[in-house]
């Protein structure tokens, strides 16, 4: 995580915050008790899953020198009481770190699927023109650095971590900052008072709603990002999304669209798919351009179109952009591996929507069977387990169900996925390496071995994880 490399920010005195008259210097701001450091101001607020007020003593034990809360707390260090703790978080964070609204172009990307891929593609592309930094769910990169440590809980960074990284990006003179923005992060206002120069919508579907309770709350949370685009900024929307009209009405800025239809600002057509890659045409301002990429899948065509529009709205020339777009890549996202006359596709399909979309695509290009090694990271939304099973049952020929970062074998995901595999051959293989080997043993040169799971791509620094690339190399040679 990039913020770990930072030097301590200069001290600030609390008497300058809300005219509190508390003459104490602080050296940081914390919103998580466990991450509190000596000299921090701890903000105690109630989140989606826990109440920070219950962990004030833990924060004090870690070194907090003062606390902000909307409650009366019996503590031995100074308390700053506020009426609205959620508003206070944004104000305090900006007071301490400063505002970044005029420091660089901030590009926010949200949606149900594709947002991480779009962020990676934008970071790769824009760094070929100007210094560009990235914050997404599994890495932080500053001006093309190789920082790849995963964020907490595979979701958006907390507000203080976002601002700490923005401070580093400003110090390193980034010109563009790409930020993956999740619905949960928007619901908790983790972007604070940050305003966006460009906001991108990939798509909206039923997924990730466990933190929201229903689809309406999920959509309302996504819409919040488009209320935070500067008036002279730009919204880039997927015209083919069934929720397009709702997002367009929310925007108080210029709106540009991409998709299949003629009325899009950037239209794609004549798409040809194969296991070697994808070729297609785009139409922009009545000019037609041809593209060819190693990326596969309909989703990636949409992703590339959104990335091109972002680059154009930043002022880069389309004739310079297209050759660079053609070389974009991302590991583990519908990634083709051709090895020893076998076809592998490695995919971190986190949602049932992504799994269905990607399997529907693979069925259009398969020559024989799709043999799927499937797993699902244990989480709160057990309905997704059933959906994974239903989709695999409909769209695969053979399924091997295995674990994803669950070393015990006691897996609700495995149980529920397997319960839906009613009309095809399947086998449960708890050891992930053995599961991949079993799929290889079953396959021939015309099959697609589709390996689904997050274990390798979201492993923690000291966590053991099965490397699918090494397994393919190891057993394909036997």
Answer yes or no: is pLDDT of 209 > 90: no
Residue 380 — pLDDT band, cuts 50, 70, 90? low
pLDDT tens-digit readout, 119-141: 999 999 999 999 999 998 778 99
Residue 350 — pLDDT band, cuts 50, 70, 90? confident
Mean pLDDT of 322-332: 91
Residue 9 — pLDDT band, cuts 50, 70, 90? low
pLDDT tens-digit readout, 387-413: 999 999 999 999 999 988 766 666 888
Answer yes or no: is pLDDT of 154 > 60: no
The pLDDT, as a whole number, for residue 153 is 46
Distance, CA of 382 to CA of 380 (rounded, Å): 6
| CATH number of this structure's domain 105-325, picked from the four choices 3.40.1190.10, 3.40.50.300, 3.40.50.1980, 3.50.50.60 | 3.40.1190.10
Residue 8 — pLDDT band, cuts 50, 70, 90? very low
The pLDDT, as a whole number, for residue 148 is 52
Domain ranges of the chain: 2-97, 105-325, 335-476
Alpha-carbon dihedral sign for residues 345, 349, 352, 358? negative
**CATH number of this structure's domain 2-97:** 3.40.1390.10
Give the count of beta carbons closer than 10 Å to the beta carbon of residue 146: 7
Residue 213 — pLDDT band, cuts 50, 70, 90? low
Same fold: 105-325 with 335-476 = no
The pLDDT, as a whole number, for residue 126 is 98
Mean pLDDT of 295-304: 94
Q: For all residues of the chain together, what is the average pLDDT?
A: 89
Stretch among 31-45, 256-270, 459-473 having the lowest mean pLDDT: 459-473
Classify domain 335-476 at the CATH class level. Answer: alpha beta
């Amino acid at each position: 995580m990039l913020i770990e490399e930072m030097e301590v920010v200069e001290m600030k005195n609390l008497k300058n915050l809300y005219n509190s008259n508390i003459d104490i210097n602080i050296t940081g701001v914390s919103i998580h008790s466990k991450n509190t450091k000596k000299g921090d101001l701890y903000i105690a607020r109630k989140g989606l899953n826990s109440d920070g007020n219950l962990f004030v003593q833990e924060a004090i034990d870690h070194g907090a020198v003062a606390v902000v809360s909307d409650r009366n707390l019996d503590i031995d260090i100074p308390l700053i009481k506020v009426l609205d703790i959620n508003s206070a978080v944004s104000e305090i964070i900006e007071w301490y770190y400063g505002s970044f609204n005029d420091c660089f172009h901030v590009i926010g990307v949200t949606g149900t699927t594709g947002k991480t891929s779009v962020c990676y593609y934008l970071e790769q592309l824009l760094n070929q023109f100007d210094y560009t930094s990235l914050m997404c769910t599994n890495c932080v990169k500053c001006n093309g650095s190789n920082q790849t440590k995963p964020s907490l809980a595979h979701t958006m960074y907390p507000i203080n971590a976002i601002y700490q990284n923005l401070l580093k990006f400003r110090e390193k003179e980034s010109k563009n900052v790409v930020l993956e923005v999740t619905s949960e992060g928007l619901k908790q206002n983790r972007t604070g008072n940050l305003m966006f120069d460009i906001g991108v919508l990939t798509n909206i579907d039923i997924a990730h709603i466990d933190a929201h309770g229903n689809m309406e709350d999920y959509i309302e949370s996504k819409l919040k990002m488009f209320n935070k685009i500067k008036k002279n900024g730009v919204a880039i929307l997927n015209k083919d999304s069934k929720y397009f009209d709702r997002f367009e009405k929310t925007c108080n800025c210029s709106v540009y669209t991409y998709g299949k239809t003629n009325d899009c600002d950037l239209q794609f057509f004549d798409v040809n798919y194969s296991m070697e890659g994808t070729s297609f045409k785009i139409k922009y301002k009545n000019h037609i351009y041809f593209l060819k990429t190693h990326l596969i899948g309909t989703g990636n065509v949409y992703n590339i179109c959104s990335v091109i529009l972002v680059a154009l709205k930043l002022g880069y020339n389309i004739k310079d952009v297209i050759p660079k777009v053609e070389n974009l890549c991302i590991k583990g996202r519908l990634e083709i591996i051709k090895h020893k006359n076998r076809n592998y596709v490695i995919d971190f399909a986190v949602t049932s929507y992504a799994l269905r979309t990607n399997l529907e695509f693979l069925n259009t290009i398969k020559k024989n069977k799709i043999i799927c090694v499937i797993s699902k990271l244990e989480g709160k939304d057990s309905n997704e387990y059933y959906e994974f099973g239903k989709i695999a049952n409909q769209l695969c020929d053979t399924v091997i169900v295995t674990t994803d970062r669950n070393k015990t074998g006691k897996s609700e995901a495995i149980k529920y996925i397997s319960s839906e595999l009613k009309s095809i051959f399947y086998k449960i293989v708890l050891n992930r390496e053995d599961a991949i080997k079993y799929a290889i043993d079953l396959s021939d040169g015309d099959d697609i071995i589709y390996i689904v799971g997050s274990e390798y791509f979201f492993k923690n620094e000291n966590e053991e994880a099965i490397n699918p690339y090494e397994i393919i190399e190891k057993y394909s040679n036997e």
